[in-house]
Amino acid sequence: MKKKFVLTVLFILPLVVYMFFASGVTNFGRLPVLSGPVSELDGFAGEQRLQGKITVLGFLGDSVELQQGRMFNLNQKIYKRFHEFQDFQMLMVAPDGTQQKVAGVMRELETFTDIGNWRFVYGEMPEIRRFFNSLETGLELDATGATPYVFIIDKDRMLRGRKKDEDTGLKFGFDATSVADLNNKMEDDMKIILAEYRLALKSNQAGRNTQEQ
């Protein structure tokens, strides 16, 4: 009897635990859609796109040098953790003419990590504001075209966030000046959306294998 009990614990219990957590991710691990679809980047210089990418989206404004601390926080707390995932990009919007300032900041970040999945698009201020407004967050860009908040955009250009955040209720974006916000909330939400896509990919692959059989 003891041997049977031990075998049950060793082989059955892990399977039950796995099924429980798999069910939890499927039923509860979906990051809510708050708005969208967000406008595509057609009005900006460059070949970057939101469609088909999991994007962390930010707005630097024309005082890029003042955003270095926020970019450093994002790099250390979010980018370094997730940049190797397929279809992930860290995309910053900045006014045309700030390219050299951006290059200077990125030279600093390059000393800490591979910056290959940082992306930038440049445009005129009216276009930047129109694009920002397409997020429908109720937030505003400051006079320079910047905001401390960054946003999670899914592969279908939908804005993801929290409907019942304990501090703000609806949570459209994450404050890049706050290490706590990035650590305690944005990191968790990034894990959820990436797990969501991984599960969808595994389900699609399993479906194809079944059809082939």
- Average pLDDT over the chain reads 86
Give the C-alpha separation, 170 to 73, whole Å.
Answer: 23
3-state helix, strand, coil in the chain (%, to 5): 45, 20, 35
Look at residue 58 in the predicted model and tell me its pLDDT: 98
Of 17-21, 28-32, 109-113, 190-194, give the range with the top mean pLDDT. Answer: 190-194
The pLDDT tens digits for 77-117 are: 999 999 999 899 999 999 999 999 999 999 999 998 899 99
Sequence-distant (6+) residues with CB within 8 A of 172 are 34, 35, 135, 137, 138, 139, 149, 151, 159, 161
Q: Which residues are 164's β-sheet partners?
A: none
The answer, yes or no, to whether residue 122 has pLDDT greater than 80, is: yes
Give the C-alpha separation, 134 to 153, whole Å.
Answer: 12
Give the C-alpha separation, 43 to 64, whole Å.
Answer: 21
Band the pLDDT of 212: cuts 50, 70, 90.
low
Nearest to 196 by CA among 13, 57, 54: 54
Q: What percent of the chain has pLDDT over 90?
A: 74
Look at residue 21 in the predicted model and tell me its pLDDT: 44
* Length in residues, the chain: 213
The CATH number assigned to the domain with range 55-212 reads 3.40.30.10
| Phi, psi values for residue 196, rounded to 5° | -60, -45
Mean local confidence (pLDDT), 18-37: 64
Residue type for position 8:
T
Name the pairing type of β-strands 88-95 and 159-160.
Answer: unpaired
The answer, yes or no, to whether residue 191 has pLDDT greater than 90, is: yes
Residue extents of the structural domains in the chain: 55-212
The answer, yes or no, to whether residue 15 has pLDDT greater than 60, is: no
